[in-house]
Amino acid sequence: MRRILFACFIMLGITAQAQTGYQVGDLTTDFNLKNVDGRKVSLANYAAAKGYIVVFTCNTCPVAKAYQDRVEALNKEFAPKGYPVIAINTNDPVASPGDSFEKMQERAKEKSFSYAYLEDPDHIYTKKFGATKTPHTFVLQKTAKGNEVAYIGAIDNDQQEENESREVYVKNAVNSLLNGKKPSVTTTKAVGCSIKWKKQSTTK
């Protein structure tokens, strides 16, 4: 019996953990994180923005890499319209050496990222937003109340770019917002890489 109770507690813990992070409609905090150019970037820096496309991603995940060019295209299309892309690397550089700040700089240079690519030491904002995998996208809308989450999930439903009739969730969501409407699809699911969390000091 005690074992069952214990198991229940663990399960509760897991569900509770799974539910942390922002839901659609929540207001997000701002951040101040180091970009690959060495400067700190906050949402508030984008004075002219109507909202943001925040992509939790990394250097190493094959799924994130498959989306790299599409993230770039999103920024090219929507930054001029007021929805810039801000990418945040979720991974700990010790747990995943390919995701170090230097490697982020290399990737940004090699692929000529036109958007900010920020590090997130100790996963503070990865956890606050509730990103669980890479890539994991949050579309935010600037409102009088603050930055409100309008969409959470995948960039599209066609990771391998094989389906001509793909649904471009993020694009559709931003276009709806630009037209003064709420997105018709507000949350989606996708397979992604788990986040490479920093090892607890106790386990070292």
Partner 1 sequence: MKKYIVIFFLLFVFFETKAQVKLLTLKELDARVAKGKDTTYVVNFWATWCGPCVEELPNFEKLQKDSMAKPIKVLLVSLDFKSKLQSQVIPFVSKNKLQSEVFVINEPDQQAFIEKVDKKWSGAIPATLFVNKDKNKRAFFEKEFTYQELITTLENLK
Q: Site residues (CB under 8 A) for partner 1?
A: 14, 18, 61-62, 66, 132-133, 154, 157-160, 162-163, 167, 188-194, 196
Max Cα distance, the chain (Å):
61
- Report the Cα 165 to chain-centroid distance in Å: 24
Question: Considering beta carbons, is residue 34 or 65 the nearer one to partner 1?
Answer: 65
The minimum distance between CB 167 and partner 1, in angstroms, equals 8
Question: Considering beta carbons, is residue 119 or 136 the nearer one to partner 1?
Answer: 136
The minimum distance between CB 112 and partner 1, in angstroms, equals 24
Q: Is the dihedral of CA 71, 86, 112, 103 positive or negative?
A: negative
Q: How far is residue 111's CA from residue 39's CA, in Å, rounded to a whole number?
A: 19
The minimum distance between CB 108 and partner 1, in angstroms, equals 22
Sequence-distant (≥ 6) Cβ neighbours of residue 69 within 8 angstroms: 111
Identity of the residue numbered 136: H
Question: Considering beta carbons, is residue 30 or 167 the nearer one to partner 1?
Answer: 167
Question: Considering beta carbons, is residue 183 or 192 the nearer one to partner 1?
Answer: 192
The minimum distance between CB 193 and partner 1, in angstroms, equals 7
CA-closest candidate to residue 135, choices 199, 75, 54 = 54
